[in-house]
Amino acid sequence: MERPAWAPRNIDISVPSVSRIYDYYLGGSHNFEVDREAARKAMEFMPGLPKVMQANRAFMRRAVRFAAGEGITQFLDIGSGIPTFGNVHEVARAASPGARVVYVDHDPVAVAHSRAVLEGDDHADVVAADLRKPHEILGSPEVRRLIDLNRPVALLLVAILHFVEDADDPYGAVAELSGALAPGSLLVLTHASYEGIPVPPERAGGVVDVYQDIRNPLIMRSREEIARFFEGYDMVEPGLVPMPRWRPETTPEDEDPWAFSGLAGVGRSA
C-alpha cells in the first residue's frame, strides 16, 4: 500500500479511522482505501451518510456564528477531525477577527493536517488528545496559551460523543470540561440517534455494525440520553432538534431527508 507524503510515519494505514471516514464523506482527500471501503460499506445501509455529515458541518458553522454574535471569542473544538472548507477558526474570525481556537483530536492524520493548515497562525493551535481524558486537554500548553478559562468559551463536541461508549463515561468527561469553563460558556453538540433517520432502525443498525467491525463503536443514544449532556446548561432556542432545524438560514423543508438524522443543540452555562 502506497503511503502518501502527508501521512505521518507512525500510523497504520491498514486500519480505518473515524476522522478519515468522515473526511471521505465530506469529499476530502485525506483518507485511504481502507477508510473508503468502510465508508462505502456503511453507505449500503444509509446511503445518505454524506448528507448527514454536511448537515453536521452546516450546523457547526451556524453555531459558531451564533457564539461569536453572543460575544464569545474563544473556541475549543474537540474531535475536530481533518480540516475541510469552513473550519471553526475561519467562521469565527469572519464574525470576530481576534477569535482564538484550539482544535483537539486523537487521530494523527487530523492533528498533522491541522498543524499544516494552522502554521504561522498565533491565535489557533491543535492538541493531540482524547475527549476521554479531559484533564490532558485542559492542562495542555496550547489550551493554557490560547484559552482564558475565566472568560466564556464555546465548547464544540460535534459528531464525537457517539464514539464514546458508556463504559468510558462520556457524561463525566463533558461534566469535567464544563466545570472548567466560565459562566456564560456555550456547549455546542451533535449526536447520532435513530431519531429522524429515514430508514428503519434495523437497517440503520447495519452502520453500527460496520463501525463495530472497525473497532470504533458507534453509540446511538435516545433524545433523553443526549439531553443529559446538557445538565447544568440552559438550552438556547430552539432546544435539542434535528440539525437543519437549529436556527436555519434556509428553509429546512428544502433539506435532504437524511440531514434530519440525529440531534443538535446549544446550551449556555449559568
Provide the number of structural domains found in the chain.
1
**Domain annotation covers residue 121:** yes
Residue 36 lies in a domain: no
Range of the domain at 182: 50-199+220-269
Q: What is the CATH number of the domain that holds 75?
A: 3.40.50.150
- In the block, residue with C-alpha cell 474531535: 79
What is the per-residue pLDDT for 3?
77
What is the pLDDT, as a whole number, of residue 1?
Answer: 62
In a domain, 243, yes or no: yes
Looking at residue 233, its pLDDT comes to 98
d(CA 169, CA 136): 16
On whether residue 39 sits in a domain, the answer given is no
88 inside domain: yes
For residue 82, being part of any structural domain is answered with yes
What b/e readout covers 207-230, taking b as 16+ CB neighbours within 10 angstroms? Answer: bbebbeebebebbbbeeebbbebb
Is residue 12 a part of any domain in this protein?
no
pLDDT value at position 248?
A: 96
- From residue 21, how far is each of 94, 222, 254, 264 by CA, in Å? 28, 24, 26, 21
The CA distance from 15 to 94, in Å, is 37
pLDDT at position 9, please? 78
Residue 67 CA neighbour count, 13 Å, CB half: 36
pLDDT of residue 12: 84
Residue pLDDT tens, the chain, 270 long = 677 777 787 778 889 999 999 999 999 999 999 999 999 999 999 999 999 999 999 999 999 999 999 999 999 999 999 988 789 999 999 999 999 999 999 999 899 989 999 999 999 999 999 999 999 999 999 999 999 999 999 999 999 999 999 999 999 999 999 999 999 999 999 999 999 999 999 999 999 999 999 999 999 999 999 999 999 999 999 999 999 999 999 898 889 999 999 999 999 999
In a 13 Å sphere around the CA of 127, the CA atoms on its Cβ side amount to 26
Strand pairing category for 154-158 and 74-78: parallel
